[in-house]
């Protein structure tokens, strides 16, 4: 079976932890993505921010996306997958942590993102339904 590195979307772009949510939203629009890794000044992964996070954790609570920093929404230790880990490891990690996207790291360097869709496109066709059921959440 393939590794995360072989099927991930490469060259993931980060939003800096000191950049605003407005900047994050613009970058998401430009890149046509629904989430971005948050990277610190040390170039290490600090978390993930999604378009939903911006809406529910800032806008819906009366926050200002022009002054709220991306790093303020990065909570806890980010869930990641190693670049050379197997797809089975990625599926198990997604299921256990109830996430649909995983930052792919090589050492401490972010090298890409692995999504549920990336896995489905590269999974045996006769098992895709089983895969989606396994990593979908109720």
What is the rounded distance in angstroms from the CA atom of residue 64 to the CA atom of residue 58? 7
Locate the domains of the chain by residue range: 4-135
- State if pTM tops 0.95: no
Structure tokens at 7: 């099927």
Q: What is the pLDDT of residues 61-78, one digit of tens each?
A: 999 999 999 999 876 678
More confident residue, 75 or 13: 13
What is the rounded distance in angstroms from the CA atom of residue 47 to the CA atom of residue 73? 8
Contact predicate 1/14, CB 8 Å:
no
Report the share of the chain in percent with pLDDT over 90: 45
Q: What is the pLDDT of residues 78-114, one digit of tens each?
A: 899 999 999 889 988 988 888 888 999 998 888 899 9
Assigned fold of 4-135: CBS-domain (3.10.580)
What is the rounded distance in angstroms from the CA atom of residue 17 to the CA atom of residue 8? 23
């Amino acid at each position: 079976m393939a590794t995360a590195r072989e099927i991930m979307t490469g060259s993931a772009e980060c939003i800096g932890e000191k950049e605003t949510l407005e900047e994050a939203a613009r970058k998401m629009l430009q890149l046509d993505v629904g989430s971005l890794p948050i990277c610190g000044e040390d170039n290490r992964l600090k978390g993930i921010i999604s378009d939903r996070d911006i809406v529910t954790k800032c806008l819906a609570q009366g926050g200002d996306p022009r002054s709220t920093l991306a790093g303020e929404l990065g909570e806890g230790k980010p869930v990641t997958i190693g670049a050379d880990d197997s797809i089975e490891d990625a599926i198990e990690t997604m299921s256990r942590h109830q996430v649909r996207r995983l930052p792919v790291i090589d050492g401490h360097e972010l090298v890409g993102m692995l999504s549920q869709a990336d896995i489905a496109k590269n999974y045996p066709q006769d098992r895709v339904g089983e895969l989606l059921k396994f990593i979908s959440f109720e």
